[in-house]
Amino acid sequence: MPGFELFGDSERKELQDVLDNGVLMRYGFDGMRNGHWKAKELEKALQDKLQVNHAQLVSSGTAAVSVALATAGIGAGDEVIMPTFTFVASFEAIMMLGAIPILVDIDDTLTLDPKAVEDAITNKTKAIMPVHMCGSMANLDALQDICKKHSLILIEDSSQATGATYNGKPLGSIGDLGCLSLDFVKIITAGEGGAVLTNNEAFYRHADQYSDHGHDHVGNDRGAETHPFLGYNFRISELHAAVGLAQLRRLDEFVAIQKKNYSIIREALSHIPQVTFRTVPEGGEESYSFLSFFLPDLETSRKVIQAFKENGIDACWNYYDNNWHYIRKWEHLKTLKTLYPLSTKVKEGLEYLKSQTFEQSNHYIGRNISCLIKLSWTDEEVQERANRMYKVIHNILKNS
């Protein structure tokens, strides 16, 4: 991860095909495009690869979450349960619809703790949204049981875990709706882009129309199409879809490389007794895009991160001190710093963030280090990295 590390002739060929054809928009211009439909091709390829009936491409992973929520009728004042550890896009997408993100604790999977989810449900809760961070997944069996018990929608944010599986099924295909990101730093990239996945015909139809100003996409005359409901512009371009199409064909190759590199580093660190690894739920297989492990305490994690930097070991993070991926530093959310007035429902719904603490999340995030697994490393570079990581952690623990 990410796929841009291995850009090659296949991506260039698909891009050149669009440029030679001359139609960059995914809809319309039927007479000009001579049968070239990159977005449609990529949607069909996603359906086949990720084992879903429907895939709708959109402009970003953030857009995918907002579109998914809208297709399920979730909006003003509705509550959506999500984890404290994610990217800011997760709560941004919820708030865009006037809904309220309800953040709850994670467990040692680094994803939603099912017990914390159960405790957070109110009569305003409409959906549970696990975020499969750093290449691995939430306990989806437990979350599905909770959703069935309370008649809630399950929306998977699989932006960081394309290629991972749970009980043999690709992540993103298990919930009522799944969301992917195809941005520049994902395992498969389109530069910018995202996708909504579903087996629900009505949800798919809503996503198809809502993401294109409400166009019904009936007939061959775009200007004559009707508008069943209001929508917005979340379209992907043919250029972005072309890159994503080439990258998706290489997903198995990318996952295999990541698994090889991940396994070498994990094997080295497994010889340190104080190092433990994130829990992968039974039946799950990671995409191996990150290696996530725990140290004894926050102080040790901070020392290791600093020593990694000093020893040239890049792309490793202790998210406790991160501005973008953990609630501790999301002051702009807690204090509602916006360019425009928020609804009273949203402001009241987020009052809890001013006082609520997340000690369980702090316990796991404070001790965690997550390291990106690159596709471009040589075997020698991976082994050297593993040796240096082992040495740094061993020496810090020995002197603690």
- Measured CA distances, 170 to 11, 48, 135, 166, 258 (Å): 24, 11, 12, 6, 17
Q: Are both 71 and 189 inside the same structural domain?
A: yes
Does residue 373 sit in helix, strand or coil? coil
Q: How many residues does the chain have?
A: 400
Q: Which of 202, 232, 250 is the last residue of a domain?
A: 250
Sheet containing strand 54-58, strands side by side: 54-58, 194-198, 177-181, 153-157, 125-128, 79-83, 100-104
Q: Are both 53 and 70 inside the same structural domain?
A: yes
Q: Are both 371 and 241 inside the same structural domain?
A: no
Q: Are both 313 and 195 inside the same structural domain?
A: no
Q: Are both 131 and 118 inside the same structural domain?
A: yes
What is the extent of the structural domain holding 227?
Answer: 3-250
Q: Are both 201 and 132 inside the same structural domain?
A: yes
Instruction: Tell me which of 38, 49, 186, 374 is the catalytic residue.
Output: 186
What is the percentage of the chain residues whose pLDDT exceeds 90? 99
Q: Which of 250, 267, 291 is the last residue of a domain?
A: 250
Pair 97, 66: CB distance under 8 Å: yes
Catalytic annotation on 186? yes
CATH number at residue 271: 3.90.1150.10
Burial 56-82 (b: 16+ CB within 10 A, else e): bbbbbbbbbbbbbbbbbebeebbbbbb
Q: Are both 339 and 298 inside the same structural domain?
A: yes
Distance (Å, whole) CA 258 – CA 373: 6
Q: Report the chain (400 residues): mean pLDDT per 10 consecutive residues.
A: 95 97 96 94 98 98 98 98 98 98 98 98 98 98 98 98 98 98 97 98 98 96 96 98 98 98 98 98 98 98 98 98 97 97 97 97 98 98 98 96
Distance (Å, whole) CA 62 – CA 85: 16
Q: Are both 246 and 324 inside the same structural domain?
A: no
Q: Are both 214 and 234 inside the same structural domain?
A: yes
> What pLDDT is attached to residue 17?
97
CATH number at residue 55: 3.40.640.10
Q: Quote the number of domains for the chain.
A: 2
Q: Are both 243 and 260 inside the same structural domain?
A: no
Distance, first Cα to last Cα, the chain:
33
Q: Which of 232, 250, 268 is the last residue of a domain?
A: 250
> What pLDDT is attached to residue 298?
98
Q: Are both 10 and 40 inside the same structural domain?
A: yes
DSSP 201: H
What tokens were used for 135?
Answer: 């290449």
> What pLDDT is attached to residue 400?
84
Return the number of other C-beta atoms located less than 10 Å from residue 369's C-beta. Answer: 25
> Comparing C-alpha atoms, which of 200, 205, 124 is closest to residue 155?
200
Estimate the crossing angle of helix 298-310 against helix 379-398, to 10 degrees.
Answer: 130
Q: Are both 235 and 323 inside the same structural domain?
A: no
> What pLDDT is attached to residue 264?
98
